[in-house]
Amino acid sequence: MSGPDLLFYFFATLSLGGGLLMVFSRHPVSAALFMIVSLVGVASLFVLLDAFFLAILQVLVYAGAVMVLFLFIIMLLDVGPSGAKASKVKLLSGVAGLISVGLLVVLLLDLGLGSMDCSECSAENCDACGESAAFAWPEIRDETAANGNSLIFSPSVKAFGFGLLAKYMLPLQVAGFLLLAAMVGVIILSKKSTAEGEG
Amino acid sequence: MEFDSEMLQQLGLKALFALLMVSAVMTMAGYSVLAERKVSAWMQGRVGPNRTVLPFVEHIPFIGPFLKGLGIFQPLADGLKFLFKEEIVPGHVNKVYYYMAPLVALVPALTTMTVLPFGEYFDEAGNSSPLILANLEVGILFIFAVSSLGVYGIVLAGWSSNSKYPFLGGIRSSAQMISYELAMGLSLLPIFLWVSVPGSEDSALSLVGIVNSQNDGAWLLIVQPVSALIFLVALFAETNRLPFDMPESETDLVGGFHTEYGSFKFGIFFVAEYAHIVVGSAIFTTIFLGGWHFLPWIADPWPATWIGTLLGIGWFLAKTVCLIFFFIWIRWTIPRFRYDQVMNLGWTKLLPLALVNLIVYVLLVTWLDQPPSVTP
Amino acid sequence: MAKTVVLERKPLSLSERTYLPQIVTGLKTTFSNMFKEKVTLQYPEEKPQLPQNYRGVPTLVKDPNGREKCVSCQLCEFVCPPKAIRITPGSVPEDEEDREHVEKAPQEFEINMLRCIYCGYCQEVCPEEAIFLLDEYSSSGYTREEMINNKAKLYELGGTLPDKHYKWDKKKDAEEEGNAH
Ligand code: SF4
Ligand code: SF4
């Protein structure tokens, strides 16, 4: 087995094992830590794919910020193993499990069917592949983006920029709007509680 | 891809360099502890550590007593002390995490320096290539990502100690981390805007690019003073230095997150903290103080040979050391903020300031970067 | 009566609210302090100058004739707040003829330096001026037993102090001349 393969199996085990242990560990803090392990493992897999930017964002946003917040809240509320058990709602967890299994199946099916046709796909022969024609990148006309075509399939940061602000402009805006709404909601909620606290 | 001999050679070389850098940073961390003790002593009218000396050095005339007076061998003694002290593990701790926490604190501090350029190397043709372990295109983001993992060491230590003061320290540390990381990231966005050349393929997220943009021109400290200020304040917060040393504030939390730690495990925390400061200073030097380049607007006066390489590295180290001194200087000048003041400063002062700074520079850069056809 | 003047507190100016000028001032102060003369005393080489009324380790002293002054009255043992003193009373040795007027002498005299709080009451209470807190301040040992000063040690520490009274000499003279007091 060659080196990179070995690395792949190592990190794959790391992320999968971390995920499993996260689900099965008793204590919320352990679960959160295993989740970090799993996230870092996934980031390492991204690195093996030469997608450094993605890997770093994964660590920065999820492992670095979101999980810190998680841990912060777990610690602040001091949820122990018993607390986690008590808060378990059987029906809800059942439904959640079903949904995740369904998602997994859909993902696997999509992967199994989709990747076969388009394995030859690259920037040059994109039109050759019939199925992905609908997903073809828009042509970039701007003078500053003269070399944009070579960027589209590169792992460089600019490719992400082009992707986000050209093809996925609408989803980006919607996601931004959603976040804004959530933020306004949080502000309103916290305002109310301080007013009550003082009054 | 197989592991052939060339690859192994490459790996060996990198490992050697990594080892060198780790030892350099660790030495600097050890000596910043000494510097901290010495500078604090001088600022308070004391003399600081001046007793430790190796037996044979003592007898060298002039140099021996001089080194002894400077306490040059103190870090050695400190390290040995940490090694040989009795290991005490309190009965109420969560053993696994308790042992893991110091390592989790140290590893990120040492990992960040892999993407840190510290000099440049000239080949025969006079082309320069940076001295760096891994020239990542997104180096600065890598540093952010990894250093944000460093907080887990503190949080874990606080939680696994299973006692009140460390716990409070851990909680504070995570809250502080979240608050200041945002301002730190935002303060750097104008830098990227400023440095990146429109239309070019390589991004300005590379630290080498940032350093080289300051060659022969203004330092980014002069171009973007507000960014530099925000970054510096956030750096103080992220390295848990006074006035932001919430996680370990001795006066109200005994020792904060490391209250229950002793001997070598405490030593690792200690070194990790100072390694953070060393690496943080190096990062600030790289981004805002022109890295290994000479003064602003003056081209490097050294020749493009190995002499230049060495002088460049020396210059880089000199700037870093000055910055470390600044860290220490601030510590012994300003009293600690209260926890609510820290949060207040982070969220209601620094973050809006960073946002305004970003918007101003977006407008400025857009105006400056207009294609020549529009502004002849 | 002086009229109370209420000083109006001026609102902070913008530069003051950023704290930065204040921090710079502070930095200047600390920096200039770095070059001031150091006040550290290099202890084992340089000894501190003790004030005259310094209270060091309690010791037993002898009179200028080299005779034991303590009469084992045990007042100091009684007064000592932390009960640091232990005295085993005994009689004056037969061979010391010039002390035959003294009824008692301590057979053993121990001061536990781990208990002593250097209050000086023993010196104050002693009717014979036999116990003094002298200049000795550095006492150390590896065990608890080492920190208990016995009689020999106490005399070694105390030595001989000048004495103006010669109380026992006077008493002896008086007895011999039949003129008590
Ligand atoms: S100095 Fe005070 S405490 Fe010490 S032996 Fe004398 S009376 Fe006791
Ligand atoms: S030292 Fe003084 S007070 Fe103490 S027993 Fe002797 S004579 Fe009495």
Ligand nearest to the CA of C114: 1
Domain ranges of chain A: 1-86, 87-136
pLDDT tens per residue, chain B (376 residues)?
455 677 778 788 878 888 888 888 888 888 888 888 888 888 888 888 887 777 777 777 777 777 777 778 888 888 888 888 888 888 787 778 888 888 888 888 888 877 787 777 776 666 667 777 777 777 778 888 888 888 888 888 888 888 888 888 888 888 888 888 888 888 888 887 777 766 555 556 677 777 777 776 677 777 788 888 888 888 888 888 778 877 777 777 777 777 888 778 888 888 888 888 888 888 888 888 877 777 777 766 767 677 777 787 888 888 888 888 888 888 888 888 888 888 888 888 888 888 898 888 888 888 877 666 544 4
Which CATH code fits A1-86? 1.20.120.1200
Q: Which CATH architecture has domain C58-160?
A: 2-Layer Sandwich (3.30)
Instruction: Give me ligand 2 centre to Cα C123, in Å.
Output: 9
C135: closest CA of chain B, how far (Å): 26
Q: Looking at the complex, report in whole angstroms how far the Cα of residue B120 sits from the nearest Cα belonging to chain C.
A: 34
The complex scores an ipTM of 0.72
Which pair of tokens denotes residue C8? 């109006």
**Residues of C with Cβ-Cβ distance to B330 under 8 angstroms:** 23, 27
Report the separation in Å between the CA atom of C157 and the middle of ligand 1, taken as the mean of its atom positions.
15
B-chain CB neighbours of A143 within 8 Å are 199, 371
Q: Do chains B and A touch (3 or more CB pairs under 8 A)?
A: yes
Q: B332 to chain C: which residues are within 8 Å by CB?
A: 30
Interface contact B334-C31, CB threshold 8 A = no
Spell out which residues of chain B touch residue A50, defining contact as CB-CB under 8 Å: none
CA dihedral B279, B284, B286, B289 (to 10 degrees): -140
User: What is the rounded CA–CA span in Å between residue C60 and residue C154?
Assistant: 5
Do residues B1 and A2 touch, judged by C-beta distance below 8 A? yes
C76 CB near ligand 2 (under 6 Å): yes
Any chain C CB within 8 A of the CB of B22?
A: no
Structure tokens at C36: 């001031």
What pLDDT does A127 receive? 46
Q: Is C84 in the pocket of ligand 2 (CB under 6 A)?
A: no
Atom number in ligand 2 closest to CA C131: 1
CB contact under 8 A, A69 and B151: no
Q: Residue holding tokens 């990190």? A: A11
Q: Is B224 left (phi over 0), alpha (psi -120 to 50) or beta?
A: beta
| The pLDDT of residue A143 | 42
Buried b (16+ CB within 10 A) or exposed e, B318-333: ebbbebbeebbbbbbb
| Domain residue spans of chain B | 50-84, 91-369
Q: pTM for this one? A: 0.76
**Nearest by Cα to A39 from A50, A77, A26, A21:** A21
Which residues of chain A, if any, have pLDDT below 70? 1-3, 79-89, 113-156, 192-199
Ranges of H-type helices in chain A: 3-24, 28-48, 52-57, 67-77, 81-86, 90-117, 148-152, 157-162, 169-198
- For A126-139, b/e burial (b = at least 16 CB within 10 A) is beebeeeeeeebee
Which among C136, C122, C123 has a CA at the least distance from the CA of C50?
A: C136
Instruction: Give the span between the Cα atoms of A98 and A19, in whole angstroms.
Output: 17
HSE of B38, CA atoms in CB hemisphere, 13 A: 20
Of the listed ligands, the closest to the CA of C115 is 1
Cβ-proximal residues to C109 (8 Å cutoff; 6+ apart), any chain: C60, C70, C85, C86, C87, C88, C150, C151, C154
User: Quick one: pLDDT band at residue C100, thresholds 50, 70, 90?
Assistant: low
The pLDDT tens digits of the residues spanning A28-61 come to 888 888 888 888 888 888 888 777 778 888 888 8
Taking CA atoms only, the protein residue closest to ligand 2 atom 8 is C73
**Mutation for B interface: C25, C34, C41, most B CBs within 10 A:** C34
Give per-residue burial for B145-157: e unless 16+ CB within 10 Å, then b: bbbbbbbbbbbbb
Handedness of CA A101, A102, A107, A112 (dihedral sign): positive
In C, residues 28-57, which contact B (CB 8 Å cutoff)?
A: 29-31, 33-40, 42
